[in-house]
Amino acid sequence: MKNILSSIICLKGEKQKETSTDSEDYLSKSIGAFGLWHAGICVAAAVTRFLVMWNMTAILFLTPDTEFECKEVKVIRNITSNTCYDDCLKYEYYNQGLPTTLISDYNLICDRQWLASLAQAVLMLGLLVGTFVFGWISDRFGRRTSIVSSVLINVIFMLATPFSPNFWAFCIFRFITGIASGGTLITSVVIVMEIVSKNHREAASSALVQPDALSQASLAIFAYYSPNWNVYVLVYSIASILILLIVLFIPESPRWLISRGRIDEAVQILTKAAQRNKLSTDNIEDIVKNSVEKLNINKKEVFNATYLDLFKTKELAINTTCIFVAWTISGTCYFGINQYMSFVGPNLYVAVIVLGLIQMPVSLVSFLINKYLGRRIASIGILGIGGIVMILLIFAEDYFWPATILGFVGFSAVTSIFTVTYIYASELFPTPLRNMAFGITSTGAKFGAMVAPFIANLKPQWLPSVVFAGLLFVGALSCLPLPETKGPNLKDTVS
């Protein structure tokens, strides 16, 4: 029996040795598992999410619920509030929050009401385009090039937006800002996942989404002290300049450099990182070159990836398809259930702050789930629980407190799934494809954001809960074919 056990252990060790190229060991051996260098990059990448989330959630104050009343008509008669008149010469607006908004300044009511939704739709469309464009840029030209250029474009057009001469100029600036925001969003996640050790990815993912809560809450403060929407946008745009200055200090990902055969540059960065972490730099070059030999990376034969390579093998095709479905359903349910949660209160400032800060403890809980259950079980479990909650909500919608509690649990579930999916989508794909894979699959969440309002407004009232429940169950099923990625090192080669 001892001999059999010894043989199994030996075979297991050999199998692990064969299937793992120790692709992460050259980082942890060179610069440690986590130190000041890692922490600095994680913080720099995380603060870029302030910029992205400001752009995505600013619409809460730009186009809030608005009542209006006609004050001047050609034919004098009794006038009722929130009613459109063909001969109305002047409307007066009663906004929640800011004294003036896009709705009041550009008269986005009556036959122009759809333009208020367009203001957000063009941003989300830009995010879709940005994930494709900057996903390719990141994998072809580097993570640093992608994040610095996307943040720079972001800041330039954010500063231009409050000076828009008309509504259509505003939409154009929003679209370009969306493209840049999409690039910033996906690249910041990949950079963090590539530098931290496998034992720290869960904590890094949880920390990475913390700015989402703070950024949404801070918008309420900006709006409260702003006299109009132009100043409101200008204030957080000026604050974004500081984020640009921080991003300039982010180095290139050593893992990406090595995957491209640029060994000397990677060694230089790792040497500086080791010095920052107060570790020896004597053996870094040998460690990296030994790993490169195991990975069979040849600078002359660098793999230039395209989006078609995400379907090159059966495994890649399954991973791409399934994680795309999971992203889409997560995004749809997150934005849809978020819209449902009107129980927070009638005060817009309080609602935005509470809905933002709720996400902080939820992301910490999802970190623990991710850490101890693994990516696959966590994804299936969270999506399944969310589906069950939505089914229960059908029977509790007429009771305030049960509906409130179930709504909170459902929102917590779809919020926490993002923390898991960030890691999962990064670990499923090799370095040459990672940013493109993350970009194309995460576009599903943007599609979901566009569809969510239409689902949330379905009638009768119980129908949205049924749709969200069905989607969440489908999302859980889509994760079944995916492999567990907790534990193994990140893969640096496609083959």
Cis preceding-peptide flag for 460 (omega within 30 of 0): yes
pTM given for the model: 0.76
Determine phi and psi for 482, rounding to 5 degrees: -75, 145
Alpha-carbon distances, residue 21 vs 76, 200, 242, 405, 423 (angstroms) = 82, 19, 40, 47, 20
Q: Are 270 and 30 in contact (CB under 8 A)?
A: yes
State the CATH class of domain 22-63+116-301: mainly alpha
* Segments of the chain assigned to CATH 1.20.1250.20: 22-63+116-301, 305-495
Chain length of the chain: 495
CATH superfamily of 305-495: MFS general substrate transporter like domains (1.20.1250.20)
First to last CA, the chain: 38
Q: What share of the chain is helix, strand, coil (3-state, %, to 5)?
A: 75, 5, 25
| Measured distance CA(371)–CA(175) in Å, rounded | 37
Spatial distance between the Cα atoms of 14 and 20, rounded to a whole number of angstroms: 10
Each of the 495 residues of the chain gets a pLDDT tens digit; together they read 444 334 333 433 333 333 334 444 678 888 888 899 999 999 999 999 999 989 988 888 888 878 888 888 877 777 888 888 888 888 888 877 788 999 889 998 888 888 887 888 888 889 889 988 998 899 889 999 999 999 999 999 999 999 999 999 999 999 999 999 999 988 998 898 888 887 787 787 778 878 888 888 898 899 989 999 999 999 999 999 999 999 999 999 998 998 888 889 999 999 999 999 998 888 888 888 887 777 665 554 455 667 788 888 888 899 999 999 998 988 888 777 766 654 344 567 777 777 777 777 887 787 788 778 888 898 999 899 989 988 888 887 776 677 777 877 887 888 888 778 878 887 888 877 887 787 788 788 878 877 776 777 677 777 888 888 999 999 999 999 998 888 777 776 665
